[in-house]
Structure 1
Amino acid sequence: MEKATVLGNIKDQPRALREALERKDEFVAPFVEVFKKYPIKKVLFFGSGTSYNASVIAAHYFKQIVGIDAAGNYPTVFKNYEKADWTNTLGKEEILFVGISQSGTSRSTVEVMEHAKQNGYITLALTENLESEITKHVDHVVHLLCGKELTPPETRGYTVTVLTLYLWAVSTAKELGVYSGEQYNQAIEEAKDLTDRFEAVIEESEAWYDRNKTTIVNSDRLYVLGYGVDFGSALEGMLKIGEMLRIPTIGYEIEEYSHGPTMALDKRQTIFFIGSDEAEFERMLLFRKAFKKYTDRVHVVTYKQIDADERDIVFHVKTNKYLAPLMFTVPFQFVAAKGAKDIGIDTSVNRFEEPLAHLPEE
């Protein structure tokens, strides 16, 4: 059998996303059922690494689409220092804890879900492995339909997770009467249109990397800047590059980057802007113009029309801003995986062998 590779998982995303959408009832219905059964007024999402980044996007979805209080949390920080409701005005049946763990073995996520359940909160896990440890410590289990990734860095799992969270949000909005039937149908059609054309996203992302790889892999430092719904995408880009290409990489909210880190900017540093269709888009273009005075290694990842050059990627596939994170993460996956391959790093090998992050799989 051919050895599984990260690049293979990246290029398998169109199939995986289409299959997940076709089987959406398997993971949407049990989630919406929780909202039918309980008067949920707040959703707390938990995850580490890729799952945390997806949690940040999930919280944005539930606030902006559903109109419900939500937050993405680091599990250990929450367990040790936070409360589910600092106002003491919500009942435990009004707060839903959602733990995201593709493997189901993330130590910190398992522990915070166990803590929540023991304290009487409603708990739900989203995991690919239905026999994993996290499933033993929650009230509800929902299957993440990404398939097992047989390499350490998660790529296909991230995009399928984000699609799952989007479908949860629009379906919950319909159930609560926030979305009309027409709005819901449009949201599903937009998801289908994007997943049907996802091969083009893969092809354009790889071509963009190939034409820019020389300067990218020879950078002293890389910055990934995002805003709005795509702040989570910036975090995922930072994680993937740091995990595989292993060049110092930092993710920032776009405005925050200008408050100090710009003082270190020089011609051997690379900046990636995620050009989301949000309020900051025009501001992003002003930053882009300013940063180019200090380095020509400035790249924009977007589907919106800009005065683009070879360093930018303007996707021909268009979608709504909530689905765009599915597209915008792909260029960073190629920077990470193909960049690593180009400089001789084997991404299938986990060099850090200490078992700190995950529980042993049974």
Structure 2
Amino acid sequence: MASIESYLQETPEKMLTIIEEADKLFAKVKQAAIERIVITGSGTSYHSGEQMAKQMQHLLQFEVLALYPFEITRETFLKDNDKTLVVGISQGGSSYSTYNAMELAKSCGCMTASMAGSENAYIDEVADYVLTVYCGEETAGAKTKGFYCTKLNLLLLALNIGKAQGQISDETYKKEITAAKEAADHFKTVYDASEKWIDAHKETLTSAEEIRITGPASLYGDILESALKLLETMRCPVTGYEFEEFIHGIYNAINEKSTVFILDDGNEPRTNKMKEVLSAWSDSIFLITNYESEQADLVLPTGDDPEGWHFNFIIPLQLICAKIPTLRGVDPSTPKDPNFHMKLGSKKMNQ
């Protein structure tokens, strides 16, 4: 089984491949009369949709929602649904909950599209449009490159639909593609800076007992995904909250045993003050930015275009998932119970 690190290192090349294949992949779906998009999936798949929905909505100027499969009911589709596209995401392609949500949407008159990490996936069976995420195999239990590649696939879906509908200009299309390519180009630099920082703080990170993550709404999907990955691999309590939500009560749980990661891409002016306040309660408060700050513990060398920053911000936290658990006696690439989904009947096949 390949390691999380090896999959992370593959990511920028896979991103560029996905961009190159986009014209062919979205050739049919971009011709459909689409006026609403609902993205659904669990875990990492949901987080990719949550991170991209607002950017897609801004580009398309119509409603784009991210919902967990359990949130999708017939009441989700009360109006005319023939112009609603439901995008089901499943990294392994075998999620029963995603399949069932897509099937329900189809019975309500919606169009459906699948985004799986491999071809001939189970969820493809109920899809009108098969939009495979060409990230390649990822056998590690904690998925990483699939998250970046799914976010990119969703962006490209919006760009192709918007361009076909005349909502997105050639200039905007090129600008968004350039931002994504720039993020791929900066991936290795951010990776190396993150690796150096993690190595310098490995003793503190290895001893973490509970972890909290917070940051601005612009990184909310990344915050949720960071929490999930750390939970999967560090195997200790981890939660992630948008900055304003963290302020509304969560801070009460911070104590000397807490490790807190504060992310900021420049959208939250109170991060320095947050670090100052929390540092009175714990020695493990880490501020991660992509701009110089006296309070910042790690400054990520991202590109200059904000549209692509979310492709870089989660790298240090995913790299912690790859490097630190082994120091805690945990193999981060192997689930605690490889047969868990088979026992629970949550996937068509155990992947």
TM-score by length of 2: 0.92
The CA distance in 2 between the partners of 1:291 and 1:173, in whole Å, is 43
- Does residue 282 in structure 1 map to residue 253 in structure 2? no
Within 5 Å, give how 1:338-353 maps onto structure 2. 338-352=323-337, 353=339
Match of 1:178 among 156, 160, 167: 167
Q: Is this contact kept in 1: 2:186–2:301, CA < 8 A?
A: no
**Distance change (3 Å), C-alpha of 1:260 and 1:288:** same
1:12 to 10, 20, 36: 10
Cα distance in 1, alignment partners of residues 139 and 207 from structure 2: 29
Displacement of 1:185 after TM fit?
A: 1.4
Whether contact under 8 Å (1:65, 1:170) holds in the other structure is yes
Q: Name the aligned partner's letter for residue 142 of structure 1.
A: L
Query: Does the C-alpha gap of structure 1 residues 314 and 322 become closer, same or farther in structure 2, counting only changes over 3 Å?
Result: same
| Mapped contact 2:215–2:262 kept (Cα < 8 A) | yes
Where 1:225 maps in the other structure, the secondary structure is strand
C-alpha root-mean-square deviation of aligned residues, in Å? 2.0
Query: Is contact 2:217–2:243 with CA below 8 Å preserved after alignment?
Result: no
Decide which of 279, 290, 293 is 1:303's aligned counterpart: 290
CA contact (8 A) 1:18 1:195 kept: yes
Task: Choose the corresponding residue for 1:42, options 20, 28, 36.
Answer: 36
Aligned to 1:115: 104
Query: Cα distance 1:223–1:361, how it changes in 2: closer, same or farther (>3 A)?
Result: closer
1:359 equivalent to 2:348? Answer yes
Q: Distance in 1 between matches of 2:304 and 2:106?
A: 38
What SS class does the counterpart of residue 153 from structure 1 fall into?
A: coil
The residue type equivalent to 1:72 in the other structure is A
Residues 299 and 23 of structure 1: CA distance in aligned 2, closer, same or farther (over 3 Å): same
Report if the CA contact (8 A) 2:272-2:295 is conserved.
no
| In 1, Cα distance between equivalents of 2:162 and 2:262 | 30
Q: 2:122 matched to which residue of 1? A: 133
In the superposition, relative to structure 1, how do residues 351 and 184 fare at CA in structure 2: closer, same or farther (>3 Å)?
Answer: same
Can you list the C-alpha shifts for 1:120-163, whole angstroms capped at 9, x where unaligned?
21101011222121111121111111001122111111111112
Letter in 1 for 2:312: M
Give 5+ residue unaligned stretches, structure 2: none
Alignment of 1:40-119 (within 5 A): 40-79=34-73, 83-86=75-78, 88=79, 91-119=80-108
Distance 1:269 1:302, change over 3 A: same
Give unmatched runs, 5+ long, in structure 1.
none
Per-residue deviation at 1:284? 2.6
Q: Tell whether the 8 Å contact from 1:45 to 1:58 is kept in structure 2 after alignment.
A: no
Q: Taking structure 1 as the reference length, what is the TM-score of the superposition? A: 0.90
8 Å contact kept, 1:194–1:319 = no
Aligned length: 347
- Per-residue deviation at 1:189? 1.7
Deviation digits for residues 39-72 of structure 1 (CA, Å, limit 9, x no counterpart): x221110011100100101212222232211111
2:302 counterpart SS class: coil
**Per-residue deviation, 1:358:** 1.6
Matched residues in 1 for 2:166 and 2:295: separation? 41
The counterpart of 1:152, out of the listed 91, 116, 141, is 141
Following superposition, the deviation at residue 308 of structure 1 comes to: 4.2
1:17 and 1:172 map into 2 onto residues whose CA distance is 19
Q: Secondary structure at the match of 1:272?
A: strand
Residue 82 of structure 2 aligns to a residue whose secondary structure is: helix
| Correspondence 1:248 to 2:237 | yes
CA–CA separation in structure 1 for the residues paired with 2:22 and 2:350: 27
> 2:300·2:313 contact (CA, 8 Å) conserved in 1?
no
Against the structure 1 CA distance between its residues 283 and 135, is the aligned structure 2 distance closer, same or farther, given a 3 Å change threshold?
A: same
Q: Report the equivalent of 1:334.
A: 319
> Aligned equivalents of 1:220 and 1:260: distance in 2?
20
Whether the 8 Å contact between 1:30 and 1:142 is mirrored in structure 2 is: no
Say if 1:299 and 1:333 are closer, same or farther in 2 by CA, change over 3 A.
same
* Residues 208/175 of structure 1: CA separation in 2 closer, same or farther (3 Å cut): farther
Q: Residues 144 and 161 of structure 1 are in contact (CA less than 8 Å); yes or no, is this contact kept in structure 2?
A: yes
Shift of the 137–258 alpha-carbon distance from structure 1 to 2, 3 Å rule, reads same
- What do the CA deviations read for 1:309-353 (whole angstroms, capped 9, x no partner)? 5xx221222243332121111111111121112222112332222
Question: Which AA in structure 1 matches 2:253?
Answer: A
- The alpha-carbon deviation at position 361 of structure 1 amounts to 6.1
CA–CA distance in structure 1, aligned partners of residues 287 and 60 of structure 2: 30
In 2: Cα distance, 1:65 partner to 1:215 partner: 42
CA–CA distance in 2 between the matches of 1:147 and 1:263? 42
Name the aligned partner's letter for residue 41 of structure 1. E
Is the 1:27–1:164 Cα contact (8 Å) retained in structure 2? no
Percent identical residues: 27
- C-alpha offsets along residues 7-37 of structure 1, whole Å, 9 cap, x if unaligned? 2112222222222223232334344x2xx32
Q: Report the AA paired with residue 5 of structure 1.
A: S
